Amino acid sequence: MLRSLVGSEMCIRDRALLEHPALTSLNLAYNRIRDEGVCALASMLEANFHLKSLDLSETWTADRGLIALGVALSSNTVLSSLSMTNNHISDDGGTAFVALLEKNKSLQQCCLKGNSMFHCTVMQASKLAARNRHIKAEEVPNRLRKEVIKLHYQRYKLEEAKSELQNQKAEKMKIDKAQEEFESKFAADAVSYTHLR
């Protein structure tokens, strides 16, 4: 976890650090990075495939920073936890963020408490996060169901192949028996032909 980095210039200077695969959680709470720093982080989130948790509580962020995060999260498929508590975000900024969050399917925890937005806006963000948690919880059972269906299909095909093999064995036995009968009849005919001569 990376904690206590100060200033928006940190976001640009440490871009390589923030894109490092080992960095999965970033806590910048209580640092005054403001909208400039959050916007820089948001631009990195669009291409980041490792960061799962981001805490920007009490970072003096306003509407512009939150909307920039919303734009980034509409394409980010990794970040699962975001905390933006106790910032300077209005209901207009929160509403715009929630509208952008509709496209996101990975954010499972989103805390916007302590901002200047209506409770219903905070709850909409929480509902979207709950929807994503539900989708994530269903992924494993759905994947398992698909695997079970595949296994049933393979079992069905195996039974079908066994049945076909048994039919071919029975057919081969009939052919072998007919061939034996033919050969024995041919041998008998050959013997009777030689006796006639």
**3-class DSSP assignment, residue 35:** helix
Q: What are the strands of the beta sheet with 109-111, ordered from one edge?
A: 2-3, 25-27, 53-55, 81-83, 109-111
How much is the pLDDT for 108?
A: 97
d(CA 5, CA 194): 109
How much is the pLDDT for 1?
A: 44
pLDDT in tens, the chain (197 residues): 444 444 444 544 556 666 778 889 999 999 999 999 999 999 988 888 899 999 999 999 999 999 999 999 999 999 999 999 999 999 999 999 999 999 999 999 999 999 999 999 999 999 999 999 999 988 877 778 888 888 888 998 999 999 999 999 999 999 999 999 888 888 888 777 777 66
How much is the pLDDT for 197?
A: 62
**3-class DSSP assignment, residue 77:** coil
* Run of H or E residues at 53: strand 53-55
How much is the pLDDT for 14?
A: 59
How much is the pLDDT for 20?
A: 79
| Measured CA distances, 97 to 67, 68, 115 (Å) | 5, 8, 13
How much is the pLDDT for 16?
A: 66
